[in-house]
Structure 1
Amino acid sequence: MSDRKLTLATLVRVAVLCCAGSGMHAAYADPPLPNNDGNDGVLRVCADPNNMPLSNNKGEGYENQIASQMASDFGYKLEYTYFPQRMGFVRRTLRDKVPDTENFKCDLIIGVPKGYDMTATTRPYLHSTYAMVFTKRPDLASINTPTDLLKLPPETLHKLRLGIFSQTPAVDWLLSNNLIEQAVSYQAQSGDPAAFPGEMIEHDLASGTVDVVFLWGPIAGYFAKRAGDKVKLVPFPPTPGIRFDFEISMGTRYGEKTWTTKVDQWIGHNQAKIDKILTSYEVPLLPVASAPTAAAQ
């Protein structure tokens, strides 16, 4: 499973994020311009207006909180350019300029997959995994690991409707366990700006349209918490042959090494603050691998 699987999912947003831009990055390797890296005391962030728990236009997501903490530590004012994280996101935000000026609309994407090729990337600050979420009920009470799902009595297992996003690791897992016929497939990029991945839990799981859903952990954790004690979350451990865990970095424009390094160093010095924010949103966290300061971009 490649990192591209995550980008096609998530930014389901983690899903929802990989197709966010288009074109070759070499065309955007411009030297830093005045006021596009905080020189004017403004942190300009590119974000999705409706992608909780990551971000929204009310500032309620964990990416909003991380951006707010960074701006505070830098002594900057925080401003946003909002655009749905779908096809064209990078082109319409990080790479787009304010009309009739040479200033870019925004200068930082708080969450991109590690090594994302549409932007330069910092060291990772978040390491999480996919998870299963299901309604607490007697016939599913024995599930404490993903493997436990496979141990259910056949008459129970083969009646379950399994909600998945297309082109995510869950697809491969269902295929490898002969459960793909029971999948209820969702599109990672629906084209509806009002749609959000957590609807699988908040609406469809609650209504009984699906029995078990497979989601990127940060999304699963947040919406499972909102559902209270009605649902249970089971994260995927490292699984031979199928990758469920991914690291998330921050994205900047290619060619802006000074700015990228500044953000990278902030992450390195403030990982504890970031972890505290992520934990408050019930993000299932795995250890973040140590990383050097941002290399030349």
Structure 2
Amino acid sequence: MTMREIAFSLVAVAGLLATATAKAQAPEPFGRPGASDAKGAIELIDPKVLRVCADPNNLPFSNRAGEGFENKLAQFLAGKLGKDLAYVYYPGATGFIRNTLNAHLCDVVMGMPQGDDVVQPTNPYYRTSYAIVTRAGADLDGLKTLADPRLAQKGRHIGLVANTPPGNVLARLGLLAAVKPYPLVVDTRVDAPGADMIHDLEAGAIDVAILWGPIAGYHVKRSNGRLVETLLTQEPGARMSFRIGMGVRHSDQEWKRELNRLIAQNQREIDRMLADYGVPLIDEAGAPIAVEP
């Protein structure tokens, strides 16, 4: 799987994400109109405003009401920078980067997988993985791996966003016949595959949901104990965990360095922000990160 395909996977998540969906455009040429003499402002549209590219309807990442964790992070960073906050909203689908960041309508995308060369990434501000979600008290309690023989039992139904990494593992295990697929590339203004999968899980239409960690954790936290999640940090045959940073234009070197400094200086606060939304955080060894209240 290429990093571009990973970006698609994350957004289905990201919506899985966020806005990392189909961003298959080449970066704009270096430079931009409207330079200013303020520090670092030669790279920003307006040195007094943090302008963010975001999806208008993609919780838990972002929405127009500012209810996503990427919205909260943007607000936090704007305060640290002493800037006002403004958004350019665009559905997380083909053309997102070309029509927002590279069109100089905004200066940063809040969630991008490390290694996606469509943008210049900052240092990652979190690392997470895909997750298994089951109903609490069901006969799949304690499920920790896709190789668990209980998943191969006759009559099982497995929810999976199409073309995401866990599908490679399920194919190797011969479990694709049990998969109920959910679409990867969607118009988030009208479709929400992650929420649909969770609804089907709670209704009993599927026995297990396999989702990108931030989406899984968000719904599990809101389920009042009805759902349980387990991270898929290691599965033979496919990479399950990824580092997520912010994305800026390839020309914006000082802006990237400024964001890197903010991430390093405020990592504890960022971790708490993510934990409030149920985002499962892991370290480089795949171990869960305990977040202080």
Task: Name the TM-score, length of structure 1 as normaliser.
Answer: 0.86
Q: Does 1:286 align with 2:288?
A: no
2:238 aligned residue (230, 242, 249): 242
Q: Compared with structure 1, are the counterparts of its residues 208 and 221 closer, same or farther at alpha carbon in structure 2 (3 Å cutoff)?
A: same
What is the deviation of 1:38? 6.8
What is the deviation of 1:126? 1.0
> Matches of 2:45 and 2:265 in 1, distance apart?
18
In structure 2, give the amino acid aligned to 1:256. D
In structure 1, give the amino acid aligned to 2:25. G
Alignment partner, residue 210 of structure 1: 206
1:266 aligned residue (262, 266, 272): 262
Contact in 2 for aligned 1:165/1:188 (Cα 8 Å): yes
Alignment partner, residue 28 of structure 1: 29
In structure 2, give the amino acid aligned to 1:84. P
Question: C-alpha deviations, 1:50-96, integer Å up to 9, x for none?
Answer: 11111111111111111111000111100111111111111121122
1:40 aligned residue (47, 53, 70): 47
> Matches of 1:93 and 1:135 in 2, distance apart?
39
What is the deviation of 1:140? 2.0
- SS of the aligned residue for 2:225 comes to helix
Q: Compared with structure 1, are the counterparts of its residues 53 and 212 closer, same or farther at alpha carbon in structure 2 (3 Å cutoff)?
A: same
Q: Does 1:87 align with 2:94?
A: yes
1:225 aligned residue (200, 221, 226): 221
In structure 2, give the amino acid aligned to 1:250. M
Q: Does 1:9 align with 2:13?
A: no
Q: Compared with structure 1, are the counterparts of its residues 198 and 29 closer, same or farther at alpha carbon in structure 2 (3 Å cutoff)?
A: same
Alignment partner, residue 161 of structure 1: 157
> Matches of 2:24 and 2:143 in 1, distance apart?
41
> Matches of 2:255 and 2:151 in 1, distance apart?
56
Q: Compared with structure 1, are the counterparts of its residues 158 and 60 closer, same or farther at alpha carbon in structure 2 (3 Å cutoff)?
A: same
Q: Compared with structure 1, are the counterparts of its residues 87 and 140 closer, same or farther at alpha carbon in structure 2 (3 Å cutoff)?
A: same
- SS of the aligned residue for 1:58 comes to coil
- Name which of structure 1's ranges 172-181 and 198-207 shifts more when overlaid on structure 2: 198-207
In structure 2, give the amino acid aligned to 1:50. N
RMSD of aligned Cα (Å):
2.2
Question: C-alpha deviations, 1:148-194, integer Å up to 9, x for none?
Answer: x623286xx22111111111111111112111101011111123522
In structure 1, give the amino acid aligned to 2:158. L
Q: Does 1:182 align with 2:175?
A: no
- Name which of structure 1's ranges 8-17 and 63-72 shifts more when overlaid on structure 2: 8-17
Q: Compared with structure 1, are the counterparts of its residues 22 and 30 closer, same or farther at alpha carbon in structure 2 (3 Å cutoff)?
A: farther
Q: Does 1:134 align with 2:134?
A: yes
Contact in 2 for aligned 1:201/1:224 (Cα 8 Å): no
| Paired residue total | 277
2:79 aligned residue (69, 72, 76): 72
- SS of the aligned residue for 2:11 comes to coil
In structure 2, give the amino acid aligned to 1:234. T
Contact in 2 for aligned 1:113/1:249 (Cα 8 Å): yes
> Matches of 2:20 and 2:151 in 1, distance apart?
38
Q: Does 1:56 align with 2:63?
A: yes
In structure 1, give the amino acid aligned to 2:6. L
> Matches of 1:124 and 1:62 in 2, distance apart?
15
Q: Compared with structure 1, are the counterparts of its residues 23 and 192 closer, same or farther at alpha carbon in structure 2 (3 Å cutoff)?
A: closer
What are the ranges of 5 or more consecutive residues in structure 1 without an aligned counterpart?
Answer: 97-103, 290-297
Contact in 2 for aligned 1:10/1:188 (Cα 8 Å): no
In structure 1, give the amino acid aligned to 2:234. P
In structure 2, give the amino acid aligned to 1:94. L
> Matches of 1:190 and 1:122 in 2, distance apart?
26
What is the deviation of 1:37? 2.1
1:151 aligned residue (149, 152, 156): 149
What percentage of residue pairs aligned between the two structures are identical? 33
Contact in 2 for aligned 1:201/1:223 (Cα 8 Å): no
Contact in 2 for aligned 1:2/1:243 (Cα 8 Å): no
Task: Name the TM-score, length of structure 2 as normaliser.
Answer: 0.87
What is the deviation of 1:19? 4.4
- Name which of structure 1's ranges 221-230 and 35-44 shifts more when overlaid on structure 2: 35-44
In structure 1, give the amino acid aligned to 2:56. P
What are the ranges of 5 or more consecutive residues in structure 2 without an aligned counterpart?
Answer: 286-293
